[in-house]
Amino acid sequence: MKKSRQEIVKLFGVSAVVAAVQFTPAAHANDQAGSWGPVLDWNINPIHAVLTPGNTLLTYGQGGGVEYSVWYIGMGTETFSRTLLGNGTGTDLFCSSQIVLPDSAKVLMTGGDQLGGGNPGNPNTTIFDDQDSSLTDAGMTMEYARWYPTTITLPNGEILAQGGRAHDDPNVPVLTPEVFNTGSGWRTLNGATSEYAYGGFKWWYPRSWILPNGLAFGISGTSMFYVDYQNDGDIVSAGRFAHDHTFETSTAVMYQPGKILQLGGGSEGNVRGSPATNTASFVDATGDWPVVTDAPSLNYARHWADTTLLPDGNVLVTGGSHLNNSLEGNGPVLTPELLDVQTNQWSLMAAEDIPRLYHAFAILLPDATVLTGGGGEPGPMINRNAQIFSPPYLFNGDQPAARPVIQLSSNEMNYGESIAITNLSANDIDRVTLVKTGAVTHSFNSEQRFIELDVTSVTDQLVTAQLPDSPTIATPGYYLLFALDTNGTPSVAEMVHFAPDPAYVPAAAPIEFCENVTSAGTISTDQKVLSGEVPQTIHSMQDAWGGLDGDIEYQWVQSPKGLNSRPATEWETIPGEVNAWFAPPTLTESTYFARLAKRSQCQGIFASNAVAVEIDGVTNAAGINPGINSGASTGITSGIGSGIATGITSGIASGITTGITTGITTAGTIDPLVVVNPQGLSGIDTCDYGQAHLNNGWGWDQTNQVSCMPRVTDK
């Protein structure tokens, strides 16, 4: 039987609903590695978890999401504190998304599975109300069915849904985002339809956050992108995330506004048994363009780990395994790691008891502990249990630390205002922080965000702090407000609320969009020709990522240093030569270079490698001239007019046979035109013309990543 909030208040008092119970850490723990409490029986495998404003934890996932469980946190950890409830909506919530609506405090569940087998998505919208623990169909369906979508809160209080798939076929992703409004339902962002952002396996719970500039930013697979969610919507590439710790088995968290930590994972498509990576990256998205730098590597490689933001701003990593969802290889990782974001150092924590692999979760509780649970369905274990971790900041040596005790006059927060916090303890408070209530599944907590408040004054009993001035820093909704003393020990949190402003509109063009110009790619191969001859026309190949997106320029430069000496300081630009094709009628003895350049309004010009056209100083003019006089001139000139490949053929037909033969008789054999490419391959025999052909017979060998020129011989 469902218990209403009012009934719980009668049974357990107001504090059971408004404030969290502080769980006493287990004995023999310490302030270096933290401590785990006992393993708790859970009445389902909790694949999804979301902390509600009413101090309940909604979990669901076992049995295909048909049943759901509600933990009344204020009642403690005994079995009676968790109630298993039936789902009467007809919607299978397995692998949906979950998020607290900032205007109503209800939980929105988007999409999920379909009853009856298989894993096609559904377009349904389900609402959980923690006032009476009820689950209802909102009657507002999306345009697209979604299985494995991500939802985040927008600065105006609406909800952005991204990714997921509609069918059993994993190769049929949903490429178009949608926006949910509590009053009007869903609207579709057709202008933001994107294969780049959501295609392939990038539909699988895309990692996404609101940045300080108001844009939504995403990392999905190897793609980084910005989402403009206004009007019809738009998506702009923000560059490639060219690292191995990526795709759906990795985990990511925005640990400070606009600053993201991405780590672990490494297999596209959830390949069972594939090895994980222990590498990590920082992504700074606070400026006009995301900057990716290496983060310190983890001690353990992890598929399906979880990252949890703590009240002190540090990041806890729990769970995962060396081989994807497997107990084999180096086995499951039971030892959490804690990243100090000030020193960028990882520390090993006390080991938990239960492996947390695929379909597990971790979430911050109001008492500053972390609950981990679930894992399995499919195996290798089915974990209908959970466990609570007390981080080191809750200890003084081996004993529980004395904690600050705080009180607020109001739990409603207004952007840009100051708040007064009453200190009811003897602890000296010097930090006040906000951590948004979590909503987590499949290694990604889409809502958690950490904000350090500016403490403006401190007295014995009163602490004043400045709230963020924008809903792009603290998106509307519910936050855990912590006060930390000078030892770093946090209080039990106060649940606070930022109401959405439906009229809020982000500033126009908050950033100047830039094309991805971190590299201009690699262009075609070197040549060597005889003095006085016309070289094969050089084609500047497409960039390394397969497309000439952006403003493209072609630069021809000259160097006297020869084929193997190419310092940029020696390059002299040839004025007026800005086309992809460069075939001057006469070349003197020298080396010429071709470069492809990409221009960006934000970052200037980025040039590719250079390819060389070298002129051999040995002249064969005596042999060539008679041939030309005999008819080669007419044939080759005609051939060049209609294209190099067809032109040479035409030239052979109309004059080469007679003219060049006469020339060879007079002056000897002509050195052949040769190709030497950067990969060390040479000649047409190395090329695979199965790819699309380019102009004038040129082709691109995708396997060897070289350009293939027609009618050349080995050097």
98: Cβ contacts below 8 Å, ≥ 6 apart: 48, 50, 58, 107, 108, 109, 110, 151, 439, 441
193: Cβ contacts below 8 Å, ≥ 6 apart: 175, 176, 235
Residue 123's closest CA among 99, 107, 147?
147
3-class state of residue 693 by DSSP:
strand
Question: Using one digit for the tens of pLDDT, what is the confidence trace for 490-517?
Answer: 999 999 999 998 888 875 444 444 444 3
Amino acid 573: pLDDT: 61
Segments of the chain assigned to CATH 2.60.40.10:
406-498, 526-618+671-708
Segments of the chain assigned to CATH 2.130.10.80:
5-22+45-266+275-393
Is the per-residue pLDDT at 623 higher than 70? no
Structure tokens at 151: 């939802």
Reduce the secondary structure of 128-161 to three states and give it as a string: EECCCCEEEECCCCCCCCEEEEEEEECCCCCEEE
Question: Using one digit for the tens of pLDDT, what is the confidence trace for 646-678?
Answer: 444 444 344 433 433 333 333 333 222 223 233
**pLDDT-based confidence at residue 588 (cuts at 50, 70, 90):** low
Amino acid 458: pLDDT: 95
Question: Using one digit for the tens of pLDDT, what is the confidence trace for 130-188?
Answer: 999 999 999 999 999 999 999 999 999 999 999 999 987 777 899 999 999 999 999 99
Q: Is 380 exposed, middle or buried (0-12, 13-18, 19+ CB in 10 A)?
A: middle
**pLDDT-based confidence at residue 24 (cuts at 50, 70, 90):** very low
Find the mean pLDDT for residues 227-241. 86
**pLDDT-based confidence at residue 337 (cuts at 50, 70, 90):** very high
Distance CA 505, CA 501 (A): 9
Give per-residue burial for 218-247: e unless 16+ CB within 10 Å, then b: bbbbbbbbbbbbbeebbbbbbbbbebebbb
Distance CA 608, CA 592 (A): 15
Is the per-residue pLDDT at 65 higher than 80? no
Region 5-22+45-266+275-393: CATH code: 2.130.10.80
More confident residue, 600 or 257: 257
Calculate ∠ Cα 687-692-696, nearest 5°. Answer: 80
Amino acid 616: pLDDT: 57
Cis peptide before 378 (omega within 30 of 0): yes
Q: List phi, psi (to 5°) of 408.
A: -115, 150
CB 348 within 8 A of CB 299: yes
Amino acid 689: pLDDT: 35
For the chain, give the percent of residues with pLDDT over 90.
Answer: 54
Number of Cα atoms under 13 Å in the Cβ half of residue 486: 5
**pLDDT-based confidence at residue 46 (cuts at 50, 70, 90):** very high
Distance CA 529, CA 640 (A): 16
Q: What element of type H or E holds 552?
A: strand 551-559
Distance CA 518, CA 607 (A): 10
Mention the CATH class of domain 406-498: mainly beta
Amino acid 507: pLDDT: 57
CATH architecture for residues 526-618+671-708: Sandwich (2.60)
Give me the amino acid identity at 436.
K
3-class state of residue 620 by DSSP:
coil
Distance CA 527, CA 78 (A): 78
Amino acid 123: pLDDT: 95
Residue 251's closest CA among 277, 227, 284?
277
Amino acid 608: pLDDT: 56
Give percent helix, percent strand, percent coil of the chain, each to the nearest 5. 10, 35, 50
Is the per-residue pLDDT at 282 higher than 60? yes
